[in-house]
Structure 1
Amino acid sequence: MPAYRYQTGDSPLDGYTIQHALGRGGFGEVYFAISDAGREVALKAVQNYEDIELRGISHCMNLKSQHLVMIFDVKKDHEGTAWVIMEYVAGANLREILDEAPSGLGTEQATYFLRELCSGLSYLHDAGVVHRDLKPNNIFFEDGVVKIGDYSLSKAITTSHRSGHTTTVGSVHYMAPEISRGQYDKTVDIYALGVILFEMLTGAPPFEGDSMGEVLMKHLSSDPDVSGLPAPFDRIVAKAMNRDPDQRYQSASEMKRDLTPGNTLDHSRPPATLSMIGERAVRQRADSKPSEAALAETFVTPVALRDTHQDESLPFERPSGSDLSSVGLRWRPNQTGPLAKDSTSIGVRLLIAAAACLMLVPLGCMGDLKPWFWGDVFTLSLVCAAGSSIACWGYLAAMPHGSGLLNAILTRGIAVAPFIVIGILFDSMPPHMELNPYISIVVGLMTAHAIMDYRCLLSADRYPRISMTKTGMAGGITMIATALYDEGEDHILFGIAIACASSIVIQLVAPHRRPINSTGQAVNPSDTVDQKSPNLLVKNQPASPAFAKS
């Protein structure tokens, strides 16, 4: 498993020293840290989808309840990475507690847990916030108090009865059916409570399957089998998990009242057995390595909707076709999970690169005013392939891996440096070598490398391996710059051919590593849900480096 980015003793954020890692999620890594004043906190490094994570955090920044994990502040380090400073909860989460009780917690423990959850969720909903990712991994038990945490996907409740969205969010075992259609209100949290109650009583969620897609379809088309649940839990679970949101409990308080009407059990403190299970789970955690399974379920997938209202507070937008990264003008890492090795050997990649140059470079030579002999064309094609391959390896070694404006400027400086040298050499050559007229092509290529962020063509997690959009962007910028340069219009086609061939070679030679799904298979990042045969393939997994040199 790839190592965490920060280790014990590191201080990436001023005023805090990391003690050890706590886990990984789709948005980044979480660490246990101590402030300079001695306060224990949990630090979340927001490494992916920063605007979405911080938007969710902003809804909950000033909420204060014993049933919510407190969010103290959000700060940025010197690299521009956002860190969420949160209350550190040393107690077990509900997932760990359920793992210690595979047959279920029993009615007394489940009742206590659900009453506390309803109290916390009522406070959250009264503050105008829908959690949207309620699951055992986000529910904690410490010193007899149940706390709800992880607001990464939280969303402010809108004034409309239902909110239309273009994305699906949440964890599939606890996800209300309407979320798959991009619609939700606070009753999606009620649905999740029903699932959690069922699991606390039986030890397993109501719907299971061989794939997340199968589980999702059961949520969409089936009712939970509550025949094995004792009263009144059978009726409560059935109502909370009704597929029609209007038929569910309309608030957590209503569900709480229905749970314990006239119940004589003492729910002012947790059952002793529950505390014992929680303590055992904490000891088990201390004896084992941090679990990644608890962080693997949350997924995000686009969903096509009809004429839904869009606003700036939408939760989980996937980059659209107009996104700057899709055309190579801005780089950002795409995957947080482990990446498979490149299935194509470097030798094969070099042969394909040479073949691509042998196809494109001759086309450019045919459009050039200077007559080219085929021997020269062949040599130039191989020189283009070799030069681009060497540039690729140089870029992989020299270009920065961090985001931010300074790294973007440094990237472009490294990219244009070789062309400055080539331009100076061409300009200093004797006239009989006839290289001076081709300075316009060098200027065109240098302009393309100055405008584009070539890390988009280099990062191992790019998708697809060869982007014709980015290749076309490189060719288009080169065409315009070449045409604008003095006498450059005579070499436009030649410049386009060289730019496109070079871009393709760089993408071929740079390693390409696809994400690994839960079964260990390499999949495409775009493989999410097939509407005819849903099969959610990509889970959030441990982070891998964006660049690879082999």
Structure 2
Amino acid sequence: MMPAMDLSMVDRDMEPFVEVDPTGRYGRYAELLGAGAVKKVYRAFDQEEGIEVAWNQVKLRNFCDDEAMINRLYSEVRLLRNLKNKNIIALYSVWRDRERNTLNFITEVCTSGNLREYRKKHKQVSLKALKKWSRQILKGLDYLHTHEPCVIHRDLNCSNIFINGNVGQVKIGDLGLAATVGKNHSAHSLLGTPEFMAPELYDENYTELIDIYSFGMCLLEMVTLELPYSECDNVAKIYKKVTSGLRPQAMNKVKDPEVQAFIEKCLARPRARPSAADLLKDPFFDGIHEDDDENADDYSRN
């Protein structure tokens, strides 16, 4: 008779799951990938596909036990499962854990983290590369804005745009929360990123073009490596400048007139602000090949 295998010896070498989803498919590790005001993102594993994923966890007590708000949040996050685009982070699963009072959703994970960290890590980036990233962000926004129903991100900034650095593929993430609580003015201080918020967002009278304004601020940060309005030491000062139409000081650091003019288009008043589809046709992207911003194969040809 064969001796029974001591499983404790095997398990000791395996990284333990801290939590498993109700289906048993996804396991969460303790390692934190990122954290925001109401959400934590952990490294996780899809046992069925054998791939790493991100486990997003929202503590629902942050919503003050407002059941209607929680239900809206849940239903809107579920809606995002229908979004299928290579420049949008895919959502695989969503569930509410009443015992732990959390809302959990599993999303795809990008190998190189967010664009803000990536850009800080790699300071020497050509304008061509920045244009490739920008095109992909705009393609993602165009998909969201022309979707039925139209999806407005409402909190686009470089910390929720993600990158697979080995192939230069860029994806927009963090849709669920932004799209849900953006309308709730009291939530702005909690979730919105004032430096990236269009002036009309403060009036709660806006369209999907607020995402174009935020994209302009993202491009400004990518070019200058500086957070817009970093000269302001509090939110009130940022709000005053934004609503007065005063540009961030970082604009003075943009030396290329073509880049400056393109950013200005994105920051224009709502009526004059172009759509994502319009911007994709802009001469700014002339010479950037249709697919070489997404194909690793093209990288060797450049």
Long gaps (5+) in structure 2: 1-14, 64-69
User: Could you tell me whether the CA contact under 8 Å between 2:94 and 2:103 is conserved in 1?
Assistant: yes
2:121 pairs with 92, 100, 112, which one? 100
Q: 1:164 to 1:266 in 2, by over 3 A?
A: closer
Equivalent positions of 1:23-422 (< 5 A) are: 23-37=34-48, 38-48=50-60, 49=63, 50-51=70-71, 53-77=73-97, 79=99, 81-101=102-122, 105-127=125-147, 128-142=150-164, 143-155=167-179, 166-167=185-186, 168=188, 170-208=192-230, 209-221=232-244, 222-224=246-248, 226=251, 228-242=254-268, 244-249=269-274, 251-260=275-284, 263-266=286-289, 268-270=291-293
What does residue 420 of structure 1 align with? none
How far apart, in 2, do the equivalents of 1:256 and 1:44 lie? 31
User: Could you tell me whether the CA contact under 8 Å between 2:86 and 2:171 is conserved in 1?
Assistant: yes
User: Could you tell me whether the CA contact under 8 Å between 2:80 and 2:91 is conserved in 1?
Assistant: yes
How far apart, in 2, do the equivalents of 1:108 and 1:254 lie? 19
How far apart, in 1, do the equivalents of 2:93 and 2:35 lie? 20
How far did residue 123 of structure 1 move? 0.3
Letter in 2 for 1:18: R
Residue aligned with 1:153, SS: helix
What does residue 9 of structure 1 align with? 17
Higher strand share: 2
User: Could you tell me whether the CA contact under 8 Å between 2:132 and 2:288 is conserved in 1?
Assistant: no
How far did residue 56 of structure 1 move? 3.8
Q: 1:106 to 1:218 in 2, by over 3 A?
A: farther
How far apart, in 2, do the equivalents of 1:88 and 1:183 lie? 33
Report the TM-score, using the length of structure 1 for normalisation: 0.43
How far apart, in 1, do the equivalents of 2:225 and 2:185 lie? 33
How far did residue 137 of structure 1 move? 0.8
How far apart, in 1, do the equivalents of 2:184 and 2:235 lie? 21
How far did residue 91 of structure 1 move? 2.3
User: Could you tell me whether the CA contact under 8 Å between 1:164 and 1:183 is conserved in 2?
Assistant: no
How far did residue 82 of structure 1 move? 2.6
**Count of residues in Structure 1 that have an aligned counterpart in Structure 2:** 257
Q: 1:267 to 1:253 in 2, by over 3 A?
A: same
Residue aligned with 1:260, SS: helix
How far apart, in 1, do the equivalents of 2:59 and 2:183 lie? 27
How far did residue 119 of structure 1 move? 0.5
User: Could you tell me whether the CA contact under 8 Å between 2:131 and 2:288 is conserved in 1?
Assistant: no
Report the TM-score, using the length of structure 2 for normalisation: 0.75
How far apart, in 2, do the equivalents of 1:188 and 1:99 lie? 26
Q: 1:68 to 1:11 in 2, by over 3 A?
A: same
How far did residue 216 of structure 1 move? 2.4
Q: 1:271 to 1:70 in 2, by over 3 A?
A: closer
How far did residue 26 of structure 1 move? 2.4
How far did residue 205 of structure 1 move? 3.6
How far apart, in 2, do the equivalents of 1:53 and 1:165 lie? 12
Percent of pairs identical after alignment?
Answer: 28
How far did residue 193 of structure 1 move? 0.9
